[in-house]
Amino acid sequence: MPSPPPLTDLKVLEFAGLAPGPFAGLLLADSGASVLRIDRLPSHPAASPLPTSDQLTRHKASIAVDLKSPRGVALIRRLALAADVLIDPFRPGVLEKLSLGPSSLLPLNPRLIYARLTGFRRDGAYSTMAGHDINYLAVSGALSLLGRKHEKPYAPVNLLADFAGGGLPLVLGILLALHARTTTGRGQLVEANMVDGASYLATFPRFALKTPVGSRPRGENLLDGGCPFYDTYETAVPGEYVAVGALEPQFYAELLRGLGLEGDARFAGARQGEREGWGEMREVFERVFRTRTRGEWEAVFKGGDACVTPVLGYGELERGKGREGDQRPVVGLGETPLLAVVRGADGKRQGQGQGVEGEGYSGTALAPGDGGVKVLEEWMGWREGGDFEVGDGGVVLKDKAKL
């Protein structure tokens, strides 16, 4: 039997926000942490609470709190005394105005790790502006690298700034602060922003701008679509593609064999790096790849080193085709696996526990108040009706002395 997940017993207060904050909370929850989301009150308190648009909710619970009320603020301050981590996803100054900023809460709980995430830098030129993933990528420099030759830059959904540049670095900061706490006994303020996070992700291509690997204009380099043996190609079925990454000479030679071009002097190994021939090479590759279906090409290159793979969609992965479609924890831990995503899974690779509804392909909405009563009892020993009550004003402590 595996031991409990590594963050078991960690208590996390997550203020409801947009994607990167909930994603950070999701990573902590998947690692065993008890994550309590603080939701705003519904706009019409008398109505039944509706789920938020946030679907990054597995293993979490929620309470609704009126943060405009002194009693609501007092409740959060009490919870912060018991919390290990607080996640602030708001623009600068929002929680500070409520006396819930780090200068207010860290003195109350010196072990608290106060983790806050913004899009732009707090001390930068855009700090007061609204923005989204595409804006953070734009001012970080990363967006200038993305796009085909002679085309405008494009943002790849909201993967790079929100999640890879925002949520992940925030969790890294939390884990570093937790490690430091084992030595110092104290928590600290953790700050992340998506501009710096995206720029950090772009470290290699930024360095490559001053080397032959990436010094040409966008879309003309080795790894950005400019190279015919590092690109995607449509097959005989329109809309179905294969990905080619045959950079090394031995991989390139195997690619030519699979394509039936091994004896073609135009593409001999010695000419692989000759850019003047890349246009013709691409045209030939495009024509050859269209002669077979994606599945047929997969069979040709399966088990080999040509670095040719099918471009798979999540729909077909979810349906299951014998490929790597089962959703697993972000990392495998041999002795303390993270919580499973697939229902019924139990093992070091797929995680421990019974998994979740949707099995990683469908998110489950969390309505304000879902599961929160149980967490309040686990964290604080409070009981509904005795220590607190839940009404139209959200969660309210009954004993004013506890405020």
- Name the nearest CA neighbour of 59 among 287, 363, 280: 363
- Tell me which H or E stretch contains 170: helix 168-184
Q: Is the dihedral of CA 369, 373, 379, 384 positive or negative?
A: positive
| 378 secondary structure, DSSP code | H
Q: How far is CA 268 from CA 215, 245, 250, 273, in A?
A: 25, 17, 12, 10
Q: Which residues are catalytic?
A: 162
Residue 176: partners with Cβ closer than 8 Å, 6 or more residues away: 190
Residue 224: phi, psi to the nearest 5? -120, 25
- Name the nearest CA neighbour of 354 among 369, 339, 335, 334: 339
Across the strands, what pairs with 35?
A: 12, 60
**Cα Rg of the chain, angstroms:** 26
* CB 370, CB 23: distance < 8 Å: no
- Name the nearest CA neighbour of 85 among 6, 3, 19, 173: 173
Q: Which residue has the tokens 């019409």?
A: 44
Instruction: Tell me the C-alpha distance between 394 and 74, whole Å.
Output: 13
Instruction: Tell me the C-alpha distance between 219 and 202, whole Å.
Output: 16
**Angle 379-383-387 from CA coordinates, rounded to 5°:** 100
- Name the nearest CA neighbour of 272 among 212, 204, 222: 222
Across the strands, what pairs with 310?
A: 242
